[in-house]
Structure 1
Amino acid sequence: MTFTSPTDARVQQHIAAHRERPGALLPLLHALQDDFGFIPESALAPIAGALSQTVAEVAGVVSFYHHFRRTPPGDAVLQLCRAEACQAAGARALEAHVKQRLGVDYHQTSADGAVTLEPVYCLGNCACGPSVRIGDRVYGRVSPERADQLLDDLQTQVVEVRG
C-alpha cells in the first residue's frame, strides 16, 4: 500500500494493530486519539473499510463519545467536572467563569491555541468539588480565582514551550 502522508501510515499501523481484536473500533479510536490528540478525518474511511463498517457508522461513534475530538486540541486541555457533586459545590459558576475567561464554549480552543475546554462527567474527586483536570493532574475545590491562577500558569507554560 502507498501512503500519501505520514498520518496515513500511522493510521494504517493502528488499524493493523487493532483490526483483529473483538470490538476493535473503540480500542482503535482510543489509540488514534492517544497518538494524534484527535481522530483525523482522513482516518474514518480506512477504519470503516478495515472493520467492514460504513464511514457514517465510524463517524457516529466518534461523535457520540465526548472523549473523542475531531480537531486538534490546544496546547493544554482543561476538563471541568459537570457531575452532580461538583455542581452542588459551585461548578456551574466555575464553568461560566472559565468559559468567559477563555472566550470559548465546551469543545473549543482559546484564540491563542493554548487551552481547549472540555466537559467531563466525573473525575472521582467528588468530596473536593468543583474539580478540574489539566493533563493528568486533578485539582479540587477550584474557585474562579484558583481557575484564573491555573490558567495563568498554563499560558505561561505554553509561552515557554513555544519559545
Structure 2
Amino acid sequence: MTVDSAGAPAEERVRAVVEAHRADRGALLPILHDIQAEFGHIDQRTVAVLATELNISRADVHGVVSFYTDFRSEPAGAATVRLCRAEACRAVGAERLVTQVEQVFGVPVGQTTPDGSVTLEQVFCLGNCALGPAAQINGRLYGRLDEGRLMDLLAEGHA
C-alpha cells in the first residue's frame, strides 16, 4: 500500500478513517468519500482493508465503489474534465464537443490520457442548462463551450 503525505502507511490511515466512522450508521459511503478525498482514488488494497475492517465482503465494497461515478479506482489526471451530456447540452452541441475532445486527447470519455494530464468524464446534468454545452474542469463550472474555448481554459491553467 502507498505511503501518505505524513509518511505513514496508507493502510493505517484507511483504518483511522474507518475508526472515525465506525459508530456511524451506513458508514461505508462517508468512509469512501473521506478516502477518495485524501488519496484521490480507492484501489483494490483499500477495498480489501475496508472489507476486513467493516466485516463485509470485498464484493460489497467494490460494488459501491463501481456503482457511484464519484468514486474512482485509479488516480485521475492532473485535470478532470466532466462533460455534460444531458438533453439541454446535447441540443446545443455537446455530442460534437465530446467527439472533438476525445479526438484531441486520444482517449474516450471515462479514461485518462497516457501522460496523466487529463481525465475525461461524462455527467448527465451540471445544472447549467441555459449555458450549454457545459463542463466542469476540476470542479469549476463553465458554459457555452466549444473545443477551442475548452482547450484555452485548460492551457490557461483553469484546470
Match of 1:39 among 31, 42, 49: 42
Q: Does 1:55 find its partner at 2:58? A: yes
Structure 2 runs not aligned, ≥5 long:
none
Match of 1:130 among 121, 133, 151: 133
Structure 1 runs not aligned, ≥5 long:
159-163
User: For 2:36 and 2:135, how far apart are their aligned partners in 1?
Assistant: 20
CA contact (8 A) 2:113 2:119 kept: yes
| Larger helix proportion of the pair | 1
Amino acid at match of 1:101: V
Match of 1:13 in 2: 16
TM-score, reference length from structure 1: 0.86
**How many angstroms does 1:136 deviate by?**
2.6
Q: Does 1:118 find its partner at 2:124? A: no
Map Cα deviations across residues 13-49 of structure 1 (whole Å, 9 max, x no partner). Answer: 1111122211111111111111111112211122112
User: For 2:17 and 2:105, how far apart are their aligned partners in 1?
Assistant: 34
Q: How many residues align?
A: 153
CA contact (8 A) 2:11 2:49 kept: no
CA contact (8 A) 1:14 1:32 kept: yes
Moved more, 68-77 or 81-90: 81-90
Same amino acid, percent of matched pairs: 48
User: For 1:90 and 1:6, how far apart are their aligned partners in 2?
Assistant: 46
Corresponding residue SS for 1:109: coil
Question: Considering only aligned residues, what root-mean-square deviation do their CA atoms show, in Å?
Answer: 1.8
CA contact (8 A) 1:11 1:32 kept: yes
TM-score, reference length from structure 2: 0.88
Match of 2:99 among 80, 96, 99: 96
**How many angstroms does 1:144 deviate by?**
1.6
User: For 1:106 and 1:21, how far apart are their aligned partners in 2?
Assistant: 35
